Chains A and B, each alone.
Chain A
Amino acid sequence: MKIIRRIVAEEFPFILACPALVWQVFFLFLPVCVLLLYSFFELIPGHWLGSFTLDYYRQIVHSRALWAILNSSILALITSTICFVLAYPLAYFLAIKVAKKLRMFFLFLLILPSWTSIVVQVYAWFFLLDKKGYLTQFLYNAGFISDNFHFLNSYGTILIGMVSAYLPFMVFPIYAVLERMDKRFLEASADLGANGRETFRRVVFPLSLPGVYAGFLLVFIPSFGEFAIPSLLGGSKYAFWGSVIVDRFLRSRDWRSGAALAILGVSIPVMLVASSFIVKKIIEIKKRREKKRLTAVKDQW
């Protein structure tokens, strides 16, 4: 007993870290491995694994499921782009033009919708745009639209839902970077003769790029995997990666091909994140080389 107490007292840091690591390995890394295994091994009743096969992947490539991945990519891309176009001016305005005291209020308003369950957010649009929804009924009664008109089940509606859900996530990183930016850069730039537009182009925008990139990741990755919004606002008209996975796992119970689809699809966000690390590393190496070059020049002096 005393030995145990002594070990606990001395190896305390290690003991503390264990639960987290165990949790992570057991519930995240292990499952991913399981999914990988599922996708590569054919289902044989009686055996949990089966024989190695690439069939499931082939199946996906040759079927509509591949389109699902493509659809999701395109949706995520369009959503990110629209979010960027709307978010940047908003973030700029909040960070630079709005008085400090008011900023908190505006930010609070911005967070609130996205901080509620996505179902609530989507329902809000649903309430407006459903066949029996407020807007549809209103326009129908006013004679603007016909009986058959559906707001829902259209790509545009899905986009509206996506953008309204993810816009704040694009705004925050950009706002954070712009807000932290030293305002004296603007003054210095103006002092050196640049007008508003040039200052923006040459000074503000390049400095804000890290925030833009963070925002892009924060929007692209979740919207890539999104299925609640398309499901509620788009009906079953469009097949997205998320919806097909739901279908495979929860309805048709075809877990093997579901796993394969998941692995295949998740490779896109993974590549995106990986590319960001690679870009960061390249910039680091470039900076280091630049530093070496400069010190070499300095030494020559």
Chain B
Amino acid sequence: MVGDKKYMSMIVQPIFVSVVYLFLYLPIIVMVLFSFNKSANPMKWGGFSLQWYTQMWNIPEMVAALKTSLIVAAASTLLSLIIGVCFVVAHKWWKSEVLFSFFYVNILLPDIVLAIGVLSIFTFSHIPLGYGSLIVGHTLIGLGFVIPIIRARFVELDPYLTEASLDLGATYFQTFRRVLIPLLMPSLVAAGLLAFTLSLDDFLIAFFCAGPKVQTLSVYVYSMVKAGVDPTINAISAVLLGVSGILILVLLSLNVIDQVLSQE
């Protein structure tokens, strides 16, 4: 707009923004850079090398932790989606809004409370900790995100569609399968990606509820960090960053497609 003090918006703000981004990315850039360092000593640049990336696959604990993380993420995502979509659909049919607020607790409470909760209930029931408790915990968090996302799309749907389907002779289940799931698919995919990423990244629940024999990738990295700087960690972290980046890109691109579809 005319008359605005140009120097504020032209100089100060961009500098400020750059500084903030730099602050956020400096450690990451350095870390990734040194993941390619041939020498293990951060002070000496031994040349460009991918050895840490190949070496990390040789560590059995790392591979086991990765497998665990992936299995848990897949399982909890699937569970969250199935349970979540059923709940959203059923809830609208009930025509009551109250129960939705139940699930806000999952995101509003600090993760640590969820973690010790799961820990307690498993110990209380004398069920050993392990994959089960991990999946339970991650599903809880997943539900907290999946339900609002699916619900947002569900309320946009024409309410008469379910009625039309029933009127034409389809049972509730057939309506669910033939009409609702296809129409909700974009939100299911987005919510699924989100839940998957959250589960992969989670540290707190895994730390508390995995038990002595099971370890996710995050917990493994944590124990390594406690031991000190190690270029292998740089490599693992860089890989995790890359994977997250890809997942986010997919998620973001999905939203664009989703918007385009909904405008059709």
Chain A interfacial positions (CB closer than 8 Å to B): 8-10, 12-17, 19-21, 23-24, 26-28, 30-32, 34-35, 38, 48, 86, 89-90, 93-94, 97, 104, 108-113, 115-128, 130, 132-134, 137-138, 141, 164, 167, 186-187, 190, 195-196, 217, 221-222, 224-225, 227-228, 232, 242, 245-246, 249-250, 255, 258-259, 262, 266, 269-270, 273
Contact = CB atoms under 8 A, between A and B. Distances in A.
A258 B116 contact: yes
Contacts, number: 244
Given A23-B143, A224-B110, A232 B172 contact: no
Contact of A34 (B82, B121, B244): B121
B203 A23 contact: no
B121 A26 contact: yes
B34 A127 contact: yes
Contacts of A12: 90, 171-173, 176
A26 B117 CA distance: 10
A124 B30 contact: yes
The interface residues of chain B, by DSSP majority, are classed as: helix
B24 A164 contact: yes
B248 A115 contact: yes
A134 B34 contact: yes
Contact of A127 (B30, B117, B139, B222): B30
B248 A112 contact: yes
Nearest to A189: B1
Interface string B195-213: 0010011111001100000
B21 interface: yes
Interface in B97-150: 99, 102-103, 105-106, 108-114, 116-121, 124, 136-137, 139-140, 143, 147
B59 interface: no
Given A27-B117, A31-B118, A97-B13, A17 B201 contact: no
A116 B117 contact: no
Interface of B: 1, 3-5, 8-9, 13-14, 16-17, 20-21, 23-28, 30-31, 34, 42-43, 82-84, 86-87, 89-91, 93-94, 99, 102-103, 105-106, 108-114, 116-121, 124, 136-137, 139-140, 143, 147, 171-173, 176, 197, 200-204, 207-208, 217-218, 221-222, 225-226, 228-229, 233-234, 237, 240-241, 244-245, 247-249, 252
Contact of B87 (A17, A26, A94, A255): A17
A125 B233 CA distance: 13
A149 to B, nearest CB: 16
Contact of B111 (A125, A137, A225): A225
Contact of A232 (B13, B202, B222): B222
A134 B121 contact: no
A122 B225 contact: yes
Nearest to A195: B3
